[in-house]
Amino acid sequence: MKDSQIDEVIKKLREAVRDFTTPIVTLYSQRKRTPFEVLITTILSLRTKDEVTAYASKRLLEKADTPEKLVALSEREIARLIYPVGFYNNKAKTLKKISEILIEKYGGKVPNDISKLLKLPGVGRKTANLVVTLGYDKPGICVDTHVHRITNRWGYVKTKTPKETEMELRKKLPCQYWKDINTLLVTFGQNICTPVSPFCSKCPLYPYCERVGVERSR
């Protein structure tokens, strides 16, 4: 893909994902959720299907939608509320520890700075960027496996890790697309540009894609 084609590609990408289900974390932020709720939902979503995340997030946040309310719960109760998300026992410990830190260091507020977010237990660059973009509506690029895989498949970047992809996209992707690129490519990656045997025959981006690493497709 040529750098000059990105505007047209993003336009077609928006059209392509219009009829598919939006990722749960994005849906939560669109309902005017607080940064704390975005943070909790994002952590619960890691290695967990969206439908399970939606159920678990609803149960937990109805009971504890602030750090103060969450620390009042036992780890066992948190685990019960978020079951059956992946690694629910570990996540229960992490969520309680995060809430304690937010109260002690940040007055119960979630930081809006990536470097500070990365110091919280269980928070990586993907989660930090999602909190900044969806919780605070600030510029940021959240790179997960879909964004990393697809932008490399396009030939738009040539990187080996999600962090390298984020840094490269920060250099070349127009800023107006930063906040949306994750939602667009997660949806696109789940439905069309799948990890194995993508649906190239019905992909509207086929003319622009270099299909790097694609050995077979549908």
pLDDT tens profile 158-203: 999 999 999 999 999 999 999 899 989 999 999 999 999 999 999 9
109 within domain boundaries: yes
In angstroms, the CA 172 to CA 6 distance is: 10
Do residues 119 and 195 share a domain?
no
Tell me the CATH number at 197.
1.10.1670.10
Last residue of a domain, one of 106, 136, 166: 136
- Neighbouring C-alpha atoms within 13 Å toward the C-beta of 133: 23
Determine how many CB atoms are found less than 10 A away from the CB of residue 201. Answer: 8
pLDDT in tens, the chain (218 residues): 899 999 999 999 999 998 887 666 665 555 658 999 999 999 998 888 878 988 999 999 999 999 999 999 999 999 999 999 999 999 999 999 999 999 999 999 999 999 999 999 999 998 999 899 888 989 999 999 999 999 999 999 999 999 999 999 999 999 999 989 998 999 999 999 999 999 999 999 999 999 999 999 99
Do residues 88 and 54 share a domain?
yes
In angstroms, the CA 151 to CA 96 distance is: 35
214 within domain boundaries: no
Last residue of a domain, one of 85, 115, 136: 136
- Neighbouring C-alpha atoms within 13 Å toward the C-beta of 62: 8
Q: How far is CA 39 from the centre of its chain?
A: 10
Do residues 69 and 118 share a domain?
yes
Contact, 71 vs 100, CB < 8 A?
Answer: yes
172 within domain boundaries: yes
Contact, 157 vs 169, CB < 8 A?
Answer: yes
Phi, psi of 51 (to 5 degrees): -65, -35
In angstroms, the CA 72 to CA 96 distance is: 9
Tell me the CATH number at 52.
1.10.340.30
49 within domain boundaries: yes
Do residues 17 and 97 share a domain?
no
Q: Which two tokens stand for residue 50?
A: 């969206």
Structural domain for 48, as ranges: 24-136
Residue for token digits 């975005």? 38
Last residue of a domain, one of 107, 136, 165: 136
H or E segment to which residue 136 belongs? helix 136-136
Through-space distance between the first and last CA atoms of the chain, rounded to whole angstroms: 21
Residue type (1 letter), 52: V
Do residues 99 and 160 share a domain?
no
9 within domain boundaries: yes
Look at residue 33 in the predicted model and tell me its pLDDT. 80
In angstroms, the CA 24 to CA 71 distance is: 24
Split into its structural domains, the chain has a count of: 2
Do residues 29 and 67 share a domain?
yes
Look at residue 103 in the predicted model and tell me its pLDDT. 98
